[in-house]
Structure 1
Amino acid sequence: MSSKPLEGIRVLDLSELLPGPYATHLLRELGAEIIKVERAGGGDNARVIVPGVYDVMNRGKSSICLNLKNEAAREVFYRMAKDADVVIEGYRPGVVKRLGIDYDTLAAINPRIIYASISGYGQTGPYAKWPGHDLQYMATAGHTALAGDPEGPPAFAIGSPFGDISSSMFAVVSILSAVIQRQQTQKGQYLDVSITDGLAAWMLPRVGAFMYEKKRGRHFSKKDVLSRAGYGVYQAKDGRYFTIGAIETHFWIGLVKAVGIKALEDPALENVDTRTERGPEVVERLKQRFLEEDSRYWFEILEEHDVPYSPVTTLDDFFEQEHLSARGLFGGEGNERTVHFPVPMEGLDKALAPPSPDCGQHTDALLAQWGYSKEDIKKLRTEGAIQ
């Protein structure tokens, strides 16, 4: 079997909750060794706040529990950092400096270290030290203003943690880029990963549309996105929800043939601008028509006319989704399931990784790996350096 893409890469993960742990989850899926360096007194707070999230984000990782306020514990961390490729942390700006585990300190020990700090607003700027969660970052970056009712106020209308996940993705891309760059420079680097910056980058398609329409004398708003004719979520007679995506004119023509609504056969509606202007009328006619037949009927006729559609998958039927299952995306069984890395690659293991660790589960074994004797470990524990 081929080696995994990131085999031989060692990551020290100081982060908690979701952004950092999901980044290291992806890195582990690609073959990196992930060591959770957890704080004394409980470790990753996700175990208490979102235990289900903790369970799926931290499979296959090791855990060492260090009291980094203790000098002996910091010496342990320095020894580990000397042999590491990457450090990821998710503290608020300034904390790692106070603890003495910041990039400059570690780079003096290991110039090849790649150090990623994931924070809500980044390490600089007027909001840098503000507390926050996914909702605040999405609001700051502009996404919340585009959510909710097309005619209504901004809304908290997205149930997935897109902000946290976006920062995980940008962290992974940046880390892997830094690994490649290190091959040329022989030096690591510091990565300031802002959740809000990542979300702002994801706004580029919408701000592009806004600027284009502004040149034409129009004001682009969420109504233009959420009230598109033939593009939305609908309900069938049997109560099942599904989506329609007939944006392009050839898909629109297919949709009109599928639904058989005489008023929508107006040739003027084959122009996308006209469809946009008459959006509310079109949406209401489609809404009423779809309620006249069961979902099976609509799925068959929409497929027959090559109209983009999809059933709405719920959490209850997520792991039974036929297409994703056929793609081999899911692993495990029962209530011990996972979603594999979504891009098939040589060397990736489809086996379910070992369960997420207890706090400090591997402390003694990891210390021994870095040359500490049983007497050394006992002394560290007595001094309160480890847990």
Structure 2
Amino acid sequence: MGALTGIRVIDLTNALAGASATKLLTDLGADVIKIEDRVQGDFTRSLMPSIFHSHNRNKRSLSVDLHTAEGVALVRRLVENADIFVQSLRPGAAAGLGLDREMLTAINPQLIYASFSAFSQRGPSAARRGVDAVAQAESGMVQIQEGLLGNISYVDTVAGLALSHAIMAALLNRQRTGQVDSVEANLLDAALYMQSAPLAEFSVSGQVPDQRNYPTKYPVVGLYPAQDGDIQVAAYYERDWVALCGILERPDLLTDDRFSDQEHRRRHIPELREILEREFRRQPRHHWVEQLSRHRILGGIVRDYDEVLSCEEFGASQSFEHIAIAPDQRMTHVRAPFRFNGQAPAATKAAPALGSDTDDVLIEAGLSRTEIEELRQRGIIGMSNEQPAPAASVLS
């Protein structure tokens, strides 16, 4: 039993951000029904299968042709008994289908209607489409980082967290006051939120914070090569510098005029780094991290993914679960980043095959098996009365 057990969500999202938001709701016990195209389904099934598997676990799939009046009518029928409707359709598409807020809340006045888009629905770019990389570019993030933040969809992930957070707040408000709110989130606002501090700094100083020149501010902070790999050292304060010299058995550095204080260390970063790198190479990573921790200096091991997946730390915190996605294949998934009473959310089911729950969902909505089969024969809904195809056939 989760905090959202009994809450039903109709999920008309694709890709990462919207899907991750509704996945977090399933982690809390919500029943999420994923509405997918009858033929292709969510495009990440084939193009980005790891994203699909990661962010659609625990959901049920109903495949339907929304280009037909009958298909749209089925979704409206599901809305009658739903608590939340989430959509990330291209701008204007929901209204074109008759699945906009006004239409659906007329059917169910208690429905919380959540919309996700690339840009604000009230700004000049409301009609534009966009992705994570575009949001990074237009929010200033690319400029201060001198490039994209790697291949991980950081903005999508933060936006999904924001959307789920807002949806749960709307649920709480509905319960407490009876007021039914609509919810909106977008990529661009999420990208700005990630830069709250540097934007605030720029608004006062007029200077763009140089995110690439971190060592100039904190000359000792950074990555260092140990005997068996790299470590991250975050020695920000003067007391950290004193303790670090003791750990390295280099008390002479404390009396070296080049390193006598933070300002002098900034002026002599190349010499300082050369000395520290040479010293850190003398011992393995775990030795240094233990020493740093003992002396209350922040630091950690730079792990690769092999180490992450086998790390005792993550095992103890129940960070991963392993789910079969094919008869001979298991995928490791990250659990939700919260715990209740020290326990991780309940184990999840694999992401559904396309349309695998169509019959069950429609029967729950009051349709007879004869009606369902007629809709199937007419191409309105997809297959769920045969052996379903795997959710994704190729893993990358």
Q: Could you say whether these structures have the same fold, taking a TM-score greater than 0.5 normalized by the shorter chain as the test?
A: yes
Shift of residue 103 of structure 1? 1.1
Instruction: Determine the C-alpha separation between the residues in 1 that align with 2:171 and 2:210.
Output: 40
CA shift, 1:201, in A, is 1.2
* Contact persistence 2:231–2:300 (CA under 8 A): yes
SS in 2 for 1:332: strand
Q: Displacement, 1:157?
A: 4.2
Q: Distance in 2 between matches of 1:157 and 1:322?
A: 28
Deviation, 1:207, is: 2.1
CA distance in 2, matches of 1:33, 1:257: 56
- Structure 1 range deviating more: 70-79 or 298-307: 298-307
Percent identity, aligned pairs only, is 27
Offset at 1:260?
Answer: 4.3
- Is 1:116 the counterpart of 2:106? The answer is no
Is the 1:30–1:348 contact (alpha carbons within 8 Å) kept by the matching residues of 2?
A: no
Q: Please list every run of 5 or more consecutive structure 1 residues that lacks an aligned counterpart in the other structure.
A: 148-153
Amino acid in structure 1 at the alignment position of 2:195: M
Q: What is the SS of the residue equivalent to 1:146?
A: helix
Contact (CA 8 Å) 1:68, 1:99: kept in 2 or not? yes
- TM-score (norm: length of structure 1): 0.88
Deviation at 1:354, TM superposition (A): 1.8
Report the more deviating stretch, 345-354 or 174-183.
Answer: 345-354
Residue type of the alignment partner of 2:99: I
Do the aligned partners of residues 189 and 278 (structure 1) sit closer, same or farther apart at CA in structure 2, a change above 3 Å counting?
Answer: farther
**Cα distance, 1:264–1:382 mapped onto 2, change above 3 Å:** farther
Change in Cα spacing, 1:365 to 1:219, as seen in structure 2 (3 Å) is closer
Structure 2: stretches of 5+ with no match in the other structure: 324-328, 383-396
Contact in 1 for aligned 2:225/2:231 (Cα 8 Å): yes
User: Which residue matches 1:242?
Assistant: 231
Q: 1:196 maps to which residue?
A: 188
Rounded to whole Å, the distance in 1 between the matches of 2:63 and 2:208 is 54
Q: Say if 2:158 is the partner of 1:158.
A: no
1:380 aligns with 2:369: no
Give the whole-Å Cα distance in 2 for the aligned partners of 1:276 and 1:91.
50
**Shift, 1:165, TM fit:** 0.4
CA 1:383–1:113: 2 relative to 1, 3 Å: same
Q: Report the counterpart of residue 240 of structure 2 in structure 1.
A: 251
Is the Cα–Cα contact under 8 Å of residues 27 and 345 in structure 2 kept in the other structure?
no
Instruction: Give the equivalent residue in structure 2 for 1:308.
Output: 298
Deviation string, structure 1 residues 174-211 (Cα, Å, up to 9, x no partner): 10111112124434222221111011012112223334
Query: Which residue of the partner structure matches residue 276 of structure 2?
Result: 286
**Corresponding residue number in structure 2 for 1:368:** 363
Name which of 193, 196, 201 aligns with 1:209: 201
**What is the alpha-carbon distance in structure 1 between the residues aligned to residue 12 and residue 337 of structure 2?**
25
Partner SS, residue 77 of structure 1: helix
C-alpha deviation, 1:386, in angstroms: 1.1
Once the two structures are superposed, the pairs formed by residues 164-175 of structure 1 within 5 Å of their partners are 164-175=156-167
- Write the distance in 1 (CA, Å) between the matches of 2:208 and 2:75: 54
SS in 1 for 2:86: strand
> Is 1:332 matched up with 2:346?
no
**Does the alignment pair 1:47 with 2:45?**
yes
User: Cα–Cα, structure 1 residues 223 and 43, in superposed 2: closer, same or farther, change >3 Å?
Assistant: closer
CA distance in 2, matches of 1:25, 1:224: 37
Computed over aligned residues only, the root mean square deviation of the Cα atoms, in angstroms, reads 2.5
Paired position in structure 2 for 1:91: 89
Amino acid at match of 1:27: L
Asked whether the equivalents of residues 118 and 187 of structure 2 are also in contact (C-alpha less than 8 Å), the reply is yes
- Cα deviation, residue 126, structure 1: 2.8
Distance (Å, rounded) in 1 between the aligned partners of 2:200 and 2:175 = 36
Structure 1 pair 68/293, CA: closer, same or farther in 2 (3 Å)? same
* Aligned equivalents of 2:116, 2:20: Cα separation in 1: 11
Sort the Cα spacing of 1:15 and 1:234 in 2 relative to 1 into closer, same or farther, 3 A: same
Residues 139-186 of structure 1: per-residue CA shift (max 9 Å, x gap): 222222232xxxxxx123433211100110110111011111212443
Tell me how far apart the structure 1 counterparts of residues 69 and 316 of structure 2 sit (CA, whole Å). 52
Q: Which moved more, 1:33-42 or 1:350-359?
A: 350-359
What is the aligned counterpart of 1:320 among 280, 285, 310? Answer: 310
Listed as ranges, the matches of 1:5-84 within 5 Å are 5-84=3-82
Question: Contact (CA 8 Å) 1:224, 1:276: kept in 2 or not?
Answer: no
TM-score (normalizing by structure 2): 0.86
Cα drift, residue 212 of structure 1: 5.0
The residue that corresponds to 1:352 in the other structure is 347
When residues 108 and 246 of structure 1 are mapped into structure 2, their CA distance, relative to the original with a 3 A threshold, is same
**Hey, what does 1:150 align to over in structure 2?**
none
**Distance of aligned partners of 1:347 and 1:138 in 2 relative to their CA distance in 1, 3 Å threshold:** same
Cα distance change on mapping 1:371 and 1:296 into 2, 3 Å? closer
Q: Provide the rounded CA distance (Å) in 2 between the counterparts of 1:85 and 1:347.
A: 28
Residue of structure 1 equivalent to 2:394: none
The equivalent of 2:392 in structure 1 is: none
For residue 110 of structure 1, report the CA deviation from its aligned partner.
Answer: 1.0
1:31 CA drift (Å): 0.9
The answer to which of 17-26 and 251-260 deviates more is 251-260
AA aligned opposite 1:62: R
Count of residue pairs brought into register by the alignment: 375
Equivalent residues of 2:61, 2:358 under 8 A apart? yes
CA separation of 1:292 and 1:138: change in aligned 2, threshold 3 A: same
| Partner AA of 2:242 in structure 1 | I
Mean CA deviation greater in 113-122 or 268-277: 268-277
* More deviation, 38-47/280-289: 280-289
SS at match of 2:9: strand
